[in-house]
Amino acid sequence: MPHDANARANAGLNVAVLVSVGRHPLTAGTRRADQDARAVEMALTLENAAISLLHAGPADPERQQALRGYLGMGLDTLDLLEQSADADVISVLEEEVRHRAPQLILTGSRAEAGEASGALPFLLAEALGWPIVTSLAAVEKVENGTAVMLQALPRGKRRRLRVRLPALATVDASAPPARQSAFGPARRGKFEHQTRPSEVDEPLSGWQFQEARKRPKRLKIVKASSARDRFKAAAAKAEGGGGQTLADVTPEQGAEAIFKLLKEEGVLR
Protein backbone atom coordinates (compact mmCIF):
# COMPACT_ATOMS: atom_id res chain seq x y z
CA MET A 1 0.00 0.00 0.00
CA PRO A 2 1.32 3.40 -0.89
CA HIS A 3 0.09 5.04 2.29
CA ASP A 4 2.13 3.25 4.94
CA ALA A 5 4.36 5.06 7.36
CA ASN A 6 7.55 4.17 5.55
CA ALA A 7 6.30 5.67 2.35
CA ARG A 8 5.30 8.85 4.11
CA ALA A 9 8.81 9.27 5.42
CA ASN A 10 10.18 9.89 1.95
CA ALA A 11 7.02 11.62 0.81
CA GLY A 12 7.24 14.31 -1.75
CA LEU A 13 9.25 12.59 -4.41
CA ASN A 14 8.11 14.91 -7.09
CA VAL A 15 8.04 13.20 -10.48
CA ALA A 16 7.18 14.85 -13.76
CA VAL A 17 6.42 12.67 -16.77
CA LEU A 18 6.71 14.24 -20.20
CA VAL A 19 4.13 12.70 -22.48
CA SER A 20 3.59 13.09 -26.19
CA VAL A 21 0.91 12.23 -28.70
CA GLY A 22 1.69 8.88 -30.25
CA ARG A 23 0.99 7.52 -33.67
CA HIS A 24 -0.20 4.02 -34.37
CA PRO A 25 2.28 2.25 -36.63
CA LEU A 26 -0.39 0.67 -38.84
CA THR A 27 -3.24 3.13 -38.95
CA ALA A 28 -1.31 6.34 -38.20
CA GLY A 29 -4.08 7.25 -35.78
CA THR A 30 -3.24 9.25 -32.67
CA ARG A 31 -2.86 7.33 -29.41
CA ARG A 32 -0.93 7.40 -26.17
CA ALA A 33 2.70 6.82 -27.12
CA ASP A 34 3.95 3.44 -26.01
CA GLN A 35 7.25 4.56 -24.45
CA ASP A 36 5.70 7.57 -22.75
CA ALA A 37 2.99 5.33 -21.35
CA ARG A 38 5.73 3.09 -19.95
CA ALA A 39 7.26 6.18 -18.35
CA VAL A 40 3.91 6.96 -16.72
CA GLU A 41 3.66 3.34 -15.59
CA MET A 42 7.07 3.57 -13.99
CA ALA A 43 6.08 6.76 -12.19
CA LEU A 44 2.88 5.14 -10.95
CA THR A 45 4.79 2.25 -9.43
CA LEU A 46 7.14 4.58 -7.51
CA GLU A 47 6.19 4.60 -3.85
CA ASN A 48 4.24 7.64 -2.82
CA ALA A 49 5.40 9.86 -5.61
CA ALA A 50 3.55 13.02 -6.57
CA ILE A 51 3.17 12.65 -10.31
CA SER A 52 2.47 15.39 -12.78
CA LEU A 53 1.93 14.81 -16.46
CA LEU A 54 3.30 17.43 -18.81
CA HIS A 55 2.67 17.90 -22.49
CA ALA A 56 3.78 20.78 -24.67
CA GLY A 57 2.34 21.03 -28.14
CA PRO A 58 -0.76 21.90 -30.12
CA ALA A 59 -4.00 21.16 -28.29
CA ASP A 60 -6.55 20.27 -30.92
CA PRO A 61 -9.38 17.93 -29.86
CA GLU A 62 -7.92 14.86 -31.56
CA ARG A 63 -4.61 15.23 -29.77
CA GLN A 64 -6.39 15.92 -26.49
CA GLN A 65 -8.33 12.68 -26.98
CA ALA A 66 -5.05 10.83 -27.41
CA LEU A 67 -3.58 12.47 -24.31
CA ARG A 68 -6.57 11.29 -22.32
CA GLY A 69 -5.07 7.82 -22.74
CA TYR A 70 -2.52 8.78 -20.06
CA LEU A 71 -5.25 10.11 -17.75
CA GLY A 72 -7.01 6.76 -18.07
CA MET A 73 -4.07 5.13 -16.30
CA GLY A 74 -5.35 6.68 -13.08
CA LEU A 75 -4.18 10.30 -12.98
CA ASP A 76 -6.52 13.21 -12.40
CA THR A 77 -4.88 16.01 -14.34
CA LEU A 78 -2.52 16.65 -17.20
CA ASP A 79 -0.74 19.96 -17.66
CA LEU A 80 -1.13 21.02 -21.21
CA LEU A 81 1.21 23.79 -22.38
CA GLU A 82 -0.27 24.85 -25.65
CA GLN A 83 2.24 25.59 -28.39
CA SER A 84 1.93 26.12 -32.08
CA ALA A 85 2.59 23.16 -34.33
CA ASP A 86 5.95 24.52 -35.51
CA ALA A 87 7.27 25.37 -32.06
CA ASP A 88 10.45 24.14 -30.44
CA VAL A 89 9.16 23.03 -27.06
CA ILE A 90 12.53 22.72 -25.25
CA SER A 91 12.54 26.21 -23.80
CA VAL A 92 8.94 26.11 -22.61
CA LEU A 93 9.56 22.72 -21.02
CA GLU A 94 12.73 24.00 -19.37
CA GLU A 95 10.88 26.97 -17.96
CA GLU A 96 8.05 24.78 -16.66
CA VAL A 97 10.43 22.27 -15.11
CA ARG A 98 12.38 25.03 -13.35
CA HIS A 99 9.11 26.37 -12.04
CA ARG A 100 7.87 23.02 -10.72
CA ALA A 101 11.23 21.73 -9.59
CA PRO A 102 10.57 17.98 -9.82
CA GLN A 103 13.32 15.66 -8.56
CA LEU A 104 12.84 13.23 -11.40
CA ILE A 105 11.69 13.61 -14.96
CA LEU A 106 10.64 10.50 -16.85
CA THR A 107 9.87 10.32 -20.54
CA GLY A 108 10.01 8.01 -23.53
CA SER A 109 13.18 7.74 -25.60
CA ARG A 110 11.68 9.19 -28.70
CA ALA A 111 8.36 10.43 -29.97
CA GLU A 112 6.27 8.39 -32.38
CA ALA A 113 5.40 11.34 -34.59
CA GLY A 114 6.95 14.60 -35.75
CA GLU A 115 10.72 14.88 -35.69
CA ALA A 116 11.04 11.82 -33.47
CA SER A 117 14.78 12.38 -33.30
CA GLY A 118 15.00 11.30 -29.68
CA ALA A 119 17.03 14.44 -29.00
CA LEU A 120 14.51 16.18 -26.74
CA PRO A 121 15.52 14.47 -23.46
CA PHE A 122 19.17 15.25 -24.14
CA LEU A 123 18.55 18.85 -25.09
CA LEU A 124 16.32 19.36 -22.08
CA ALA A 125 18.81 17.73 -19.72
CA GLU A 126 21.52 19.90 -21.18
CA ALA A 127 19.42 23.03 -20.78
CA LEU A 128 18.67 22.13 -17.17
CA GLY A 129 22.16 20.94 -16.48
CA TRP A 130 20.84 17.63 -15.14
CA PRO A 131 22.23 14.13 -15.60
CA ILE A 132 20.33 11.90 -18.03
CA VAL A 133 19.83 8.14 -17.78
CA THR A 134 18.75 6.32 -20.92
CA SER A 135 16.91 3.00 -21.19
CA LEU A 136 15.71 3.05 -17.62
CA ALA A 137 14.41 -0.40 -16.68
CA ALA A 138 13.50 0.19 -13.04
CA VAL A 139 13.85 2.62 -10.19
CA GLU A 140 14.86 0.47 -7.26
CA LYS A 141 15.06 2.98 -4.45
CA VAL A 142 15.04 6.70 -3.80
CA GLU A 143 16.87 7.78 -0.67
CA ASN A 144 18.39 11.03 0.54
CA GLY A 145 18.27 12.65 -2.85
CA THR A 146 19.85 9.70 -4.64
CA ALA A 147 18.07 7.20 -6.82
CA VAL A 148 19.23 3.66 -7.44
CA MET A 149 18.23 2.79 -10.96
CA LEU A 150 18.57 -0.16 -13.29
CA GLN A 151 19.60 0.70 -16.79
CA ALA A 152 18.80 -1.74 -19.57
CA LEU A 153 21.66 -2.79 -21.82
CA PRO A 154 21.42 -4.92 -24.96
CA ARG A 155 20.55 -8.61 -24.58
CA GLY A 156 18.80 -8.27 -21.29
CA LYS A 157 21.83 -7.03 -19.37
CA ARG A 158 21.19 -4.57 -16.57
CA ARG A 159 23.49 -1.96 -15.03
CA ARG A 160 22.83 -0.54 -11.58
CA LEU A 161 23.35 3.20 -11.36
CA ARG A 162 23.32 5.59 -8.43
CA VAL A 163 22.06 8.90 -9.68
CA ARG A 164 21.99 12.11 -7.72
CA LEU A 165 18.64 13.83 -8.13
CA PRO A 166 17.35 15.86 -9.83
CA ALA A 167 17.78 13.80 -12.95
CA LEU A 168 16.07 13.01 -16.20
CA ALA A 169 15.55 9.45 -17.35
CA THR A 170 14.18 7.98 -20.55
CA VAL A 171 12.46 4.63 -20.87
CA ASP A 172 12.19 2.41 -23.91
CA ALA A 173 10.70 -0.97 -24.67
CA SER A 174 12.72 -2.64 -21.92
CA ALA A 175 10.68 -0.91 -19.21
CA PRO A 176 7.60 -2.75 -17.89
CA PRO A 177 4.55 -2.42 -20.18
CA ALA A 178 2.01 0.27 -19.38
CA ARG A 179 -1.20 -0.57 -17.61
CA GLN A 180 -4.54 -0.48 -19.40
CA SER A 181 -6.05 2.92 -19.92
CA ALA A 182 -9.60 2.92 -18.58
CA PHE A 183 -12.33 4.83 -20.36
CA GLY A 184 -14.02 6.29 -17.26
CA PRO A 185 -11.00 7.98 -15.64
CA ALA A 186 -9.73 9.03 -19.08
CA ARG A 187 -12.96 10.85 -19.74
CA ARG A 188 -13.16 12.42 -16.30
CA GLY A 189 -9.51 13.56 -16.15
CA LYS A 190 -8.89 17.30 -16.48
CA PHE A 191 -6.46 19.29 -18.56
CA GLU A 192 -4.70 22.19 -16.86
CA HIS A 193 -4.59 24.22 -19.99
CA GLN A 194 -2.10 27.09 -20.44
CA THR A 195 -1.18 28.83 -23.66
CA ARG A 196 2.49 29.68 -23.74
CA PRO A 197 4.28 31.81 -26.32
CA SER A 198 5.77 29.51 -28.92
CA GLU A 199 9.35 29.73 -29.98
CA VAL A 200 9.33 28.87 -33.65
CA ASP A 201 11.72 26.14 -34.64
CA GLU A 202 13.32 27.86 -37.65
CA PRO A 203 15.18 24.95 -39.25
CA LEU A 204 12.05 22.80 -38.98
CA SER A 205 10.15 25.05 -41.37
CA GLY A 206 12.61 24.26 -44.11
CA TRP A 207 12.27 20.52 -43.71
CA GLN A 208 10.22 18.14 -45.72
CA PHE A 209 8.40 15.39 -43.91
CA GLN A 210 7.57 12.06 -45.42
CA GLU A 211 6.47 8.84 -43.92
CA ALA A 212 9.18 6.50 -42.84
CA ARG A 213 8.83 3.15 -44.45
CA LYS A 214 10.20 -0.05 -43.14
CA ARG A 215 12.93 -1.36 -45.37
CA PRO A 216 12.24 -4.84 -46.62
CA LYS A 217 14.24 -7.31 -44.62
CA ARG A 218 16.41 -9.86 -46.30
CA LEU A 219 14.93 -13.25 -45.66
CA LYS A 220 17.00 -15.40 -43.40
CA ILE A 221 17.04 -18.76 -45.07
CA VAL A 222 17.65 -21.48 -42.58
CA LYS A 223 19.03 -24.59 -44.18
CA ALA A 224 18.36 -26.94 -41.35
CA SER A 225 17.37 -30.51 -41.65
CA SER A 226 16.28 -31.18 -38.10
CA ALA A 227 14.09 -29.42 -35.59
CA ARG A 228 17.12 -29.05 -33.35
CA ASP A 229 18.99 -27.14 -36.03
CA ARG A 230 16.04 -24.92 -36.70
CA PHE A 231 15.71 -24.18 -33.02
CA LYS A 232 19.39 -23.39 -32.75
CA ALA A 233 19.17 -21.08 -35.73
CA ALA A 234 16.15 -19.31 -34.28
CA ALA A 235 17.65 -18.96 -30.84
CA ALA A 236 21.12 -18.00 -32.00
CA LYS A 237 22.50 -14.68 -30.88
CA ALA A 238 23.17 -12.13 -33.55
CA GLU A 239 26.85 -12.37 -34.31
CA GLY A 240 28.58 -9.22 -33.19
CA GLY A 241 31.42 -8.51 -35.59
CA GLY A 242 34.70 -7.30 -34.10
CA GLY A 243 34.66 -4.53 -31.57
CA GLN A 244 36.72 -4.20 -28.46
CA THR A 245 36.15 -3.37 -24.84
CA LEU A 246 38.39 -0.65 -23.48
CA ALA A 247 38.94 -0.62 -19.75
CA ASP A 248 41.20 1.52 -17.60
CA VAL A 249 42.31 3.77 -20.40
CA THR A 250 42.94 7.48 -20.29
CA PRO A 251 40.31 9.75 -21.84
CA GLU A 252 42.74 10.53 -24.65
CA GLN A 253 43.20 6.86 -25.50
CA GLY A 254 39.47 6.37 -25.41
CA ALA A 255 38.83 9.32 -27.66
CA GLU A 256 41.51 8.08 -30.02
CA ALA A 257 39.86 4.66 -30.24
CA ILE A 258 36.43 6.17 -30.93
CA PHE A 259 37.92 8.50 -33.53
CA LYS A 260 39.61 5.58 -35.25
CA LEU A 261 36.40 3.56 -35.32
CA LEU A 262 34.38 6.47 -36.74
CA LYS A 263 36.94 6.82 -39.53
CA GLU A 264 36.89 3.10 -40.25
CA GLU A 265 33.11 3.12 -40.45
CA GLY A 266 33.16 6.10 -42.77
CA VAL A 267 31.23 8.34 -40.38
CA LEU A 268 34.12 10.83 -40.36
CA ARG A 269 36.03 11.49 -43.50
Partner 1 sequence: MLDTLLPVLLFTALALAALGAVRRVRLWRQGRSSSVPVLKGLLRVPRRYLVDLHHVVERDKYISHTHVATAGGFVLAALLAIVVHGFGLQSAMLGWVLLAATTSMFIGSLLVAKRRRPPPSRLSKGPWMRLPKSLMAFSIGMFVVTLPTAGILPEGVFQQGLGWIAALVLAAIIVWGLGEMFFGMTWGGPMKHAFAGALHLAWHRRPERFSDKTGGEHRSTGLKALRLDEPDAKLGVETPADFTWNQLLGFDACVQCGRCEAMCPAFAAGQPLNPKKLIQDMVVGMAGGSDARYYGSPYPGKPVGEHAGSPFGPIVAREGTSLVDAETLWSCTTCRACVEECPMMIEHVDAIVDMRRFLTLEHGNTPNKGAEVLDNLIATDNPGGFDPGSRLHWAADLNLPLMADKKEADVLLWLGDGVFDMRNQRTLRAFISVMRAAGVDFAVLGNEERDSGDVARRLGDEATFQTLARRNIKTLAQYRFSRIVTCDPHSFHVLKNEYGELGTSETPATYHVQHHSTYISELVSANKLSFKAWKGGSVTYHDPCYLGRYNGEYEAPRDVLKALGIEIKEMARSGYRSRCCGGGGGAPITDIPGKQRIPDMRMEDVRDTGADLVAVGCPQCTAMLEGVVEPRAEIKDIAELVADALVIDAPVGKADSTRAAPALALEETS
Q: For the chain, how many residues are written? A: 269
Residue with smaller CB distance to partner 1, 41 or 88 = 41
Residue with smaller CB distance to partner 1, 159 or 187 = 187
Nearest to 52 by CA among 14, 20, 90: 14
Least distance (Å) from partner 1 to the CB of residue 167? Answer: 29
Residue 113: how many other CB atoms lie within 10 Å? 17
Least distance (Å) from partner 1 to the CB of residue 175? Answer: 16
Cα R_g (the chain), whole angstroms? 21
Least distance (Å) from partner 1 to the CB of residue 72? Answer: 6
Residue with smaller CB distance to partner 1, 74 or 114 = 74
Least distance (Å) from partner 1 to the CB of residue 1? Answer: 8
In terms of Cβ atoms closer than 10 Å to its own Cβ (0-12, 13-18, 19+), residue 32 is: buried
Query: Across the strands, what pairs with 52?
Result: 16
Residue with smaller CB distance to partner 1, 2 or 145 = 2
Least distance (Å) from partner 1 to the CB of residue 214? Answer: 12
**Rounded distance between C-alpha atoms, residue 153 and residue 1, angstroms:** 31
- Cβ partners under 8 Å of residue 208, min gap 6: none
Cβ 133 vs Cβ 167: under 8 Å:
yes
Residue with smaller CB distance to partner 1, 184 or 241 = 184
Least distance (Å) from partner 1 to the CB of residue 186? Answer: 9
Least distance (Å) from partner 1 to the CB of residue 183? Answer: 4
Write out the DSSP string of 96-135.
HHHHH--SEEEEESS-SSTT--S-HHHHHHHHHT--EE-S
Residue with smaller CB distance to partner 1, 44 or 165 = 44
Q: Which residues bind partner 1 (CB under 8 A)?
A: 1, 24, 26-27, 29, 31, 72-74, 179-185, 187-188
**Rounded distance between C-alpha atoms, residue 162 and residue 160, angstroms:** 7
Residue with smaller CB distance to partner 1, 159 or 193 = 193
